[in-house]
């Protein structure tokens, strides 16, 4: 299931006791339409206020008319969630564990723009984009990203393979793109916050490298607001699809 959502009004992706989540809303819709309890598994969680251009989730169901199900789901769900398509996959396919690449975008705007409110971070100070991209080159050659992970996170390791990291400026608009095989909780927002410090001249490239070497979240920059962050793309091996 290919999904897009505006995360502003949700307490993230994953079901939790307090607060409305994207996963909960889709599961309720699926269960109502299919007249049986249906659980879905996403490619990963997104935090409160984070958006998704493409989130992917899998679910088990008996024979269905996928086009009709997409239409019914979009009629049932509110305007903040859209189901873009459903494909059949192998029985043991997992939206979470079979993903080979995830791409995130972070949007920042330096000029006040009411149409970007809630989907981009309004940040006025000028940034040295060349210096930021020099720091991005360091990221692409690194493995252990514990310094950018939320503390008390239960993971086997903090290693990530980063395929792409670049910062692009277009006038007053800025876009940070990062792609990798996996990401740690809170990692992208902490990376962006630290890159902003580099762009402001508060953190040198040597300092940036020392932060990475420290494995200490306290050494890195602040986590930037969730509103600018999008899960942009999730990629899977072609052989998991049945159509």
Same-domain status, 226 and 138: yes
pLDDT at site 127 = 98
Q: What is the pLDDT of residue 152?
A: 78
Same domain? 144 vs 222? yes
CATH number where 53 lies: 3.30.70.580
Residues 111 and 178 in one domain: yes
Q: Quickly count: other Cβ atoms within 10 Å of residue 201's Cβ.
A: 10
Q: Indicate if 116 and 86 belong to the same structural domain.
A: no
Please say if the pLDDT value at position 153 is more than 90. no
Q: Please say which residue of 52, 79, 97 terminates a domain.
A: 97
Task: State the pTM of this model.
Answer: 0.96
Q: What percent of the chain has pLDDT over 70?
A: 100
Q: Do residues 54 and 63 make contact, with C-beta atoms less than 8 angstroms apart?
A: no
Q: Out of 67, 97, 127, pick the residue that ends a domain.
A: 97
- Model pLDDT for residues 57-78, shown as the tens digit of each residue: 999 998 899 999 999 999 999 9
Q: At what angle do helices 66-76 and 22-34 cross, to 10 degrees?
A: 120
> pLDDT of 107-143, one tens digit each?
999 999 999 999 999 999 999 999 999 999 999 999 9
CATH number of the domain bearing residue 172: 3.30.70.660
Asked whether residue 106 falls in the same domain as residue 85, the answer is: no
pLDDT tens digits for range 24-55 = 999 999 999 999 999 999 999 999 999 999 99
Residue 169 has pLDDT above 90, yes or no: yes
Q: Do 49 and 108 share a domain, yes or no?
A: no
**22 found inside a domain:** yes
Domain boundary among 48, 64, 97: 97
Residue 66 domain-assigned? yes
3-state secondary structure 204-242: CHHHHHHHHHHCCHHHCCCCCCHHHEEEEEEECCHHHEC
60 assigned to some structural domain: yes
φ, ψ at 123 (rounded to 5°): -140, 110
Kindly state the average pLDDT of the residues 177-200.
Answer: 97
Distance CA 243, CA 39 (A): 22
Mean pLDDT of the chain: 97
Residues 111 and 218 in one domain: yes
Which domain does 31 fall in, by range? 2-97
Tell me the catalytic residues. 47
Q: Based on the structure, what is the number of domains in the chain?
A: 2
200: nearest Cα among 130, 135, 129, 127: 127
Same structural domain, 177 and 106: yes
CA 44 to chain centre: 8
């Amino acid at each position: 299931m290919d999904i897009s959502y505006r995360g502003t009004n949700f307490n993230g992706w994953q079901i939790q006791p307090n607060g409305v989540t994207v996963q909960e809303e889709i599961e309720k819709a699926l269960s109502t339409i299919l007249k049986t309890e249906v659980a879905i598994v996403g490619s990963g969680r997104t935090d409160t206020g984070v958006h998704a251009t493409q989130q992917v989730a899998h679910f088990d169901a008996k024979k269905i008319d996928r086009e009709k199900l997409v239409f019914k789901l979009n009629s049932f769900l509110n305007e903040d969630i859209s189901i873009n398509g459903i494909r059949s996959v192998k029985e043991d396919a997992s939206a979470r564990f079979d993903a080979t690449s995830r791409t995130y975008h972070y949007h920042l705007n330096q000029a006040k723009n009411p149409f970007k409110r809630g989907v981009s971070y309004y940040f006025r100070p000028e940034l040295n984009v060349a210096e930021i991209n020099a720091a991005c080159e360091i990221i692409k050659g690194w493995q252990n990203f514990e310094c950018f992970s939320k503390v008390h996170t239960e993971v086997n390791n903090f290693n990530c393979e980063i395929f792409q990291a670049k910062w692009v400026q277009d006038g007053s608009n800025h876009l940070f793109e990062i792609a990798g095989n996996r990401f740690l909780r809170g990692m992208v927002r902490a990376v962006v916050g630290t890159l902003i410090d580099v762009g402001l001249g508060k953190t040198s490239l040597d300092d940036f490298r020392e932060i990475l070497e420290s494995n200490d979240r306290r050494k890195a920059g602040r986590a930037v607001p969730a509103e600018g962050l999008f899960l942009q793309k999730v990629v899977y091996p072609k052989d998991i699809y049945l159509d």
